[in-house]
A and B are shown apart, each in its own frame.
Chain A
Amino acid sequence: MKKLLILMMAMVLAGGFVFAGGQQEAKGADEPLKLVLLVKSLGNGFFEAYADGGKEAAKELGNVESIYMGPSTSTAEGQIEIIETLIAQRVDGIAISANDRDALIPVAKKAMKAGIKVISFDSGISLGGRTVDLVPSESELIGRQQVQLIAELCNYKGEVGIVSATSQATNQNLWIEWMFKEIEKPEYKNMKLVEVVYGDDAADKSYREAVGLMQKYPKLAGIISPTTIGVLASAKAIEDEGKQGVVQLTGLGLPSEMQHYIENGTCVQMALWNPIDLGYSSTFILEALVTGKVEGKPGDVIKAGRMGDIVIGEDGLSVMGAPFVFNKDNIAKFAAMFYELF
C-alpha cells in the first residue's frame, strides 16, 4: 500500500515535470515574451504610469506582453513573494523598482539562476541583484537641459540667476557646474549666469532670495531653480513682484505642485523624470536582454525606441536620458499622476 502511494506520487511528480517541460517547449516564436514591471506598490498613479510606458513599448516591440505587478503595501517582503511566484510562472524578464536595495538580492539571484533576466529601474537594486540598473538621468544631462530650457524662454539673451537648495547639496552643485559649462557654448553668448543663491529648501528663504535676485539685477531675464521648494517659492516671488513674463522661470519641480504656475504662465516649462519613459525604457532593455541582442555588459548599446540609444555603463548602471519637459499641454495629466505619490 505504502509502495503504491509512493509510486503514485512519483508518477504525479514525473508527470508534472513532463507537463512543465512541455509548456516550456510550447513557448515558441509565436508566444510573446512575458516581461514584468514590478513596482513598489499598487494603487499609485505614479507607478501605474510605468505600466503605460511598458504597454507602449510592448506594442512597438510586437513580441512582448507587458505585465504590471506590485505588492499592496510598499515592502520588500511583498516584492520578494511576487518574485518567487514569478519564478514559478517562468516569466522571461523582470524589471524591478525596489523597496529595498539589498533585501531583494537573494531572491533576484534565484530568479536569474532560473534563467529570468532581472533589471532594476528608478529605485535600484545593489550590484549582484540585477544585470542592469536604469537611472532616470544624470548630472550632465540635467544641468545642460536646465540652461537650454531657460534659453528658449528668454530668447537666448539676458541675465539668469540660480536659486539652489543648500550650498553644500552635492547633486545641486553638480547640476549647477554643468549649467556653467553649458552656457559657455556660442549659442548662449548673449546670456550670463549672474549668481547662485541658496534658499536652503525653505519656502521663506527661497522666496526672499528670489526677490533679492530680482532687486539686485533689475534686468534679470530668468531664474533657474533645480529644486522643488525653490522653484515653487521663486514662482510665487515672481508673481508677487508682478514680473510674470518679464522674469522667466524654469527648474526641476513636481508637476503636482507646479500646476498652478505652469498653467498661469509664470513657469512656462520645467523638467523632471517621467515615469512613462521609465516603464518604456525598462521594457526595451529587458527585451534586448531576453532575446540575446545584448548581454548587459558595460559598453552594450540598447536601441530604446523613441528614447534613443541607452548605453550600459560600469556596474550595469545606465542612464535613460534628459529629464522630461512639462508644460501647459501635459501638466494636468502628470499633476494627477504625481499627486498620488507625493
Chain B
Amino acid sequence: MKVAKNFKTLMQKREVTLIILIVILTAVVTFRAPGFIKINNISRILNDTSILMIVAIGQFFVILTGGIDLSVGSIIAFSGMAASMMNQYNPALPVVLVLLAGIVIGAVLGAINGVLVTFGKVPPIITTLGTMSIYRGFTFVLSRGQWVTAHEMSENYMNIPHGHFIGISNLIWSAVIVVVLTYYFSKYTRSGREVYAIGGNKTAAHFVGVSKPKVDMIIFSLSGLLCGLAGVMWTARYAAAVNETAAGFELQTVAACVLGGVSVAGGSGGIPGVVLGALFLGIINNALPVVNLSPFFQMFIQGVVVLLAMFVNTLMGKRQEKSVLKRRCS
C-alpha cells in the first residue's frame, strides 16, 4: 500500500513525467532510426543540448520572478562575436582570458537589462525586447557585418568546447558545472530562495524584507553571464561567429523552461526540470534530421511534440494539486 502510494506521488512529480516522456520519445526515434541511442550519438546530443541547457537555466531564474529575458539570443551573438574577434586579433592571448572576457561581457549586458528593469521601471518583457534589437545591432556594428570563421580563430579557441576531460567534452562539463552551481544557488542560498519568494508572492516578499531590485539585478546579470559563456561556446563549437548567431534562440529557452514545469507566472519550478526540458528539446532537434520525415513537416512535428509534452506535464501537475487538496481535506 505504501509502495503504491509512493509510486503515485513519484508519478506526480513533473521531472518524473518528463523522464518518461524522454524515454518514450527516444524509443520512438530509435524505432525509426536505429543507432540513435548509440554512445557516440548520445554524446552528440548532450553536446548539442549543453548550450541550450546553460542559457535555459539563466532564463529559468528570470521566469521564476515572473519576468522573461528575450535578449538572450542577442547577448549570445554579441559576446560570442566579441570573444571571437578578441581571439582573431590577439591569437596569442590565452583562451582562458578570452572565455572570461566573453562571460564578463555577457554579464555586463545582462546587468544593463537589470538596471533598466529596476531603476527604469520598465517591465522585463519590454526592456529585453528593446535590448534584444540593441544588442543584435551592436553585434553588427562591432563586426562591421563581417564574420569570424575557422581560419581566423586559433586552434585553442576552437578547442574550448571540444577539449576532453576523462572522455567528456568541455562543453558538457561546463553545462554540468553550471547545473550544479545554480542548483545549489537556487536551493541553499538566501538570494536563491529570495528569487522564489518574489515569484511566489511579490507583496509578501516585500514585507518580509526581500529586495526586488537586488534580486532583479542578480537574475538578469546571471542570465547575461550564462549567455556570455554560451556565446563563446557557440562560436567556438561551430567555428563561426556570424551576426545572426542564436537568432530566435530565446523562444527555445523559454520552451525548455515551460516544458520543465516552470510556471510562466513565476514562483515555481526547479533546475532539474529545466535540465530535462532542455534535454527533451535537444533530442527532438537531433532526432528530426535522422527520422525520415519531410522537412516541411519538421517544424509542425516539433511544435506538436512540445505542446503535447506540456499538456501531459500540466495534466500531471493538476492531479498533484487535487491530491494535495484531498490530503488537506481528509
Q: Is B147 an interface residue (CB 8 A)?
A: yes
What range describes how many residues of B lie at the interface? 20 to 34
Q: Is the CB of A203 within 8 A of B240?
A: yes
- Closest chain A residue, CB of each to CB of B286: A208
Give 29 A-B contacts (CB < 8 Å), ordered by A residue.
A167-B295, A202-B244, A202-B247, A203-B238, A203-B245, A204-B234, A204-B246, A208-B48, A211-B289, A212-B286, A215-B41, A215-B289, A215-B290, A216-B292, A232-B149, A232-B238, A232-B239, A233-B238, A235-B150, A236-B238, A236-B239, A259-B150, A259-B151, A260-B149, A260-B150, A260-B151, A260-B239, A335-B151, A339-B146
A335 to B150: give the CA distance in the assembly, Å: 13
B149, B234, B238, B289: the one within 8 Å of A213 (CB): B289
Given the contacts A167-B296, A209-B289, A263-B151, A342 and B238 also touching, CB distance less than 8 Å: no
The residues in B between 279 and 310 inclusive whose CB is less than 8 angstroms from any CB of A are: 285-286, 288-290, 292, 295-296
* Beyond A204-B246, A236-B240, 7 additional pairs, beta carbon < 8 A: A201-B244, A203-B238, A204-B234, A216-B290, A258-B149, A263-B151, A339-B146
Give A208 to B238 CA distance when docked, in angstroms: 11
Q: How many A-B residue pairs have CB under 8 A?
A: 75
Q: How far is the CA of A196 from the CA of B298 in the complex (A)?
A: 13
Secondary structure of the A contact surface, majority rule: helix
Do B296 and A204 have beta carbons less than 8 Å apart?
no
Taking the complex as formed, is B258 at the interface, i.e. its CB lies under 8 A from any CB of chain A? no
Contact of A215 with B295 at beta-carbon distance under 8 Å, contacts A203-B245, A261-B150, A342-B146 already known: no
CB distance from B312 to the nearest CB of A (A): 26
Contact B151 A198, beta carbon cutoff 8 Å:
no
In whole angstroms, how far apart are the Cα atoms of A212 and B48 in the complex? 13
| Chain A residues numbered 296-327 whose CB sits less than 8 Å from any CB in chain B | none
Complex Cα spacing A201 to B238, Å: 13
Contact A212 B295 (CB under 8 A): no
Closest to A232 in B: B240
* Interface set of A (CB-CB < 8 Å, partner B): 167, 196-198, 201-204, 207-209, 211-213, 215-216, 229, 232-233, 235-236, 240, 256-261, 263, 335, 339, 342
Nearest-CB distance from B281 to chain A (Å)? 12
Q: Which chain B residues numbered 143 to 160 have a C-beta less than 8 Å away from chain A?
A: 145-147, 149-151
| Distance, CA A201 to CA B239, complexed state (A) | 15
The minimal Cβ–Cβ distance linking B256 to chain A, given in whole angstroms, is 15
For B240, what are the chain A residues with a Cβ–Cβ distance below 8 Å?
203, 229, 232-233, 236, 257
CB of B319 within 8 Å of the partner chain = no
